[in-house]
Amino acid sequence: MLPQFDDLSRFRALLSEALGPDMAARTGAEDRNGQLTKPPGALGRLEDLAIWYAGWRGDARPEIKAPQVIVFAGNHGVTAQGVSAFPAEVTVQMVANFQAGGAAINQLARAAGARMDVHALDLDRPTADFTQSPAMSEEEVVAALRAGWRAVDPAADLLVVGEMGIGNTTPAAAIACALYGGDAADWTGRGTGVDDAGLANKIRVVREGVALHAGQGDGLDVLRRLGGRELAAMAGAIAAARVLRIPVILDGFICTAAAACLDASIAGALDHAVAGHQSAEGAHGALLERLGKQPLLSLGLRLGEGSGGALAIQILKGAVACHSGMATFAEAGVAEG
């Protein structure tokens, strides 16, 4: 049973106490990898991925049978400052599209053989504009973390979390700037496609928000002050997966910013996560570098919804299929070099 929490300090404690990978399964997977019918290292990063997956699943010869994709949606008070190329009503409209099966993520999750769930978080109650006050109270951020935590199917063997939230590249940029420093312009991109004047305005908004909330607490406090409900729910789901030893594939800029809040609060909180892709949002590469994560794909996507993460399920499935299905040199009667 997954334990529950009522406040941020208990959430921190649960994440700090989470166990690491099963080292015996990992060593077993390394041994098996060394015996498979291929030149050593010839499957490149697929070999590391399979070994990483085996350790977290506690099985030296694992299979991926039950991937889960969860899309969280939230609305943002900061959209009143004109930070997006699209109106805020698109968030609820896209939720209906996800539910009807018409969005990109519906197709990509199906193509990857993944179950897909959608959770809309208080869309009629946007977060506060973070240039004026914290985006969320502790009660609100805890409710969103819990929504994410509870959305994870304990029987899933792989998790992708994605988001939908008009305006949410602004909180994501503010989080990155608050966590890692530098100028707001270094972390702020065009999101859904704001023009040059829109970008300058967005940089101002990020700069003001970061200045207002500077130096107040750890990564989870940054998430509360500058984030949003769908970002907190993604963080909650990633944390639950860490406790349940379910490997995670991260999606784009917003998902990675949410994950970075966990990493900044608790060392090792993202050891069970790989980067699915590098998004076209300008600062995503820098954010992944800060987390020490190399993206599996780089396809110029800037959609969110978990789209890049869902595509990367197929890479991980390929890695695990080779690892667990290939013959060894001895089994196949192939001479070793």
Ligand X SMILES: O=C(O)c1ccc[n+]([C@@H]2O[C@H](COP(=O)([O-])O)[C@@H](O)[C@H]2O)c1
Ligand Y SMILES: Cc1cc2nc[nH]c2cc1C
Q: What residue ranges bind ligand Y (CB under 6 A)?
A: 86, 90, 94, 164, 192, 303-305
Q: Do residues 47 and 73 make contact, with C-beta atoms less than 8 angstroms apart?
A: no
From ligand X, ligand Y, none, interface partner of 167 (C-beta below 5 to 8 A by class): ligand X
Work out whether 97 is an interface residue with ligand X (CB under 6 A): no
Cα–Cα distance between 264 and 259 in angstroms, integer?
9
The answer to whether residue 305 is catalytic is yes
Work out whether 149 is an interface residue with ligand X (CB under 6 A): no
Measured CA angle at 335 (ends 331, 337), to 5 deg: 125
When the beta carbons of 158 and 205 are compared against ligand X, the nearer one is 205
Work out whether 230 is an interface residue with ligand X (CB under 6 A): no
Work out whether 287 is an interface residue with ligand X (CB under 6 A): no
Work out whether 178 is an interface residue with ligand X (CB under 6 A): no
Work out whether 203 is an interface residue with ligand X (CB under 6 A): no
From ligand Y, ligand X, none, interface partner of 191 (C-beta below 5 to 8 A by class): ligand X
Cα–Cα distance between 207 and 273 in angstroms, integer?
29
Site for ligand X in 183-202 (CB under 6 A): 191-192
- Site residue total, ligand X (CB under 6 A): 24
When the beta carbons of 66 and 88 are compared against ligand X, the nearer one is 88
When the beta carbons of 169 and 314 are compared against ligand X, the nearer one is 169
Q: CA separation (Å) from 280 to 127, 141, 226, 252, 254?
A: 26, 28, 22, 9, 12
Neighbours of 290 (CB within 10 A): 15
- Active-site position among 139, 305, 331, 336: 305
Cα–Cα distance between 219 and 265 in angstroms, integer?
5
Q: Do residues 187 and 283 make contact, with C-beta atoms less than 8 angstroms apart?
A: yes
Q: Quick one: tokens of 313?
A: 């399920």
CB of 173 to ligand X, least distance (A): 9
DSSP string, 141-180: HHHHHHHHHHHS-TT-SEEEEEEE-TTTHHHHHHHHHHHH
From ligand Y, ligand X, none, interface partner of 170 (C-beta below 5 to 8 A by class): ligand X
Q: Quick one: tokens of 173?
A: 């940029």
The contact set with ligand X (CB under 6 A) reads 84-86, 163-170, 191-192, 251-254, 279, 281, 284, 302-305
Catalytic residues: 305
